[in-house]
Structure 1
Amino acid sequence: MHIQLQSEFDDVLQPLGNDAAQFFLAASLYHARKISFASAAHLAGLDFEAFKSRLMEHFNQGYIVADESVLEDIQTVRELS
């Protein structure tokens, strides 16, 4: 599938570097929890660290950790202590 962006996006995306549209689409799918971090990094054409770094740069957040995971970890720590 090839996507044709409206020309108005050019002014916004151009200063953000090459493949900015690809990165932001992958990041949006990751933030919407439609794809994994690894899949998003791959779709963005970046390795794990580069993708995390760009997420931090543009969203002030790298990995998304589900609340359920945090609660499970807290429960595990309580059980172990």
Structure 2
Amino acid sequence: MRLYLKPEFDEVLGPFGDEAASFFLAASLYHAHRISFSAAAALADLSFEAFLYRLQEHFGDGFRLADESVWEDLATVDSLMGQP
């Protein structure tokens, strides 16, 4: 699938560099919980650290965790510690 953007996007994305569209598309998919962090970084053609930095730069935070993931992790820790 080839993506074609309206010319109006050039003015908005231009200041962010040549690969801005790829970054913002990957970041949007990550924020929507459609792809993993590492998949989004790869799609944006950025290292793990560079993708994290750009997320923090443009969105104020890097990682976004679903509440369900946090609760599952807490339950795992409780079970490993032998607590009900």
TM-score range, shorter chain: 0.7 to 0.9
Tell me what 1:5 maps to: 5
Specify the alignment match of 2:37 in structure 1: 37
Query: What's the TM-score once normalised by structure 1's chain length?
Result: 0.87
Off by >6 Å, runs of 4+ in structure 1: none
Q: Which runs of 5+ in 1 are unaligned?
A: none
Alignment match, 1:20: 20
Question: Which residue does 1:53 correspond to in 2?
Answer: 53
Q: What SS is found at the alignment partner of 1:21?
A: helix
How does the TM-score come out when normalised to structure 2? 0.84
Number of corresponding residues:
81
Tell me by how many angstroms 1:76 deviates: 5.2
Which residues of structure 2 form unaligned runs of 5+?
A: none
**Root-mean-square deviation (CA), in Å?**
1.6
Give per-residue Cα distances to partners, 1:9-56, cap 9 Å, x unaligned.
000000011200000000001111111101000000001000000000
Match of 1:66 in 2: 66
Instruction: Give the Cα–Cα distance (whole angstroms) in 2 for the partners of residues 73 and 39 of structure 1.
Output: 21
Deviation at 1:77, TM superposition (A): 5.5
Deviation, structure 1 residue 6: 0.2
Percent of aligned pairs with the same amino acid = 59
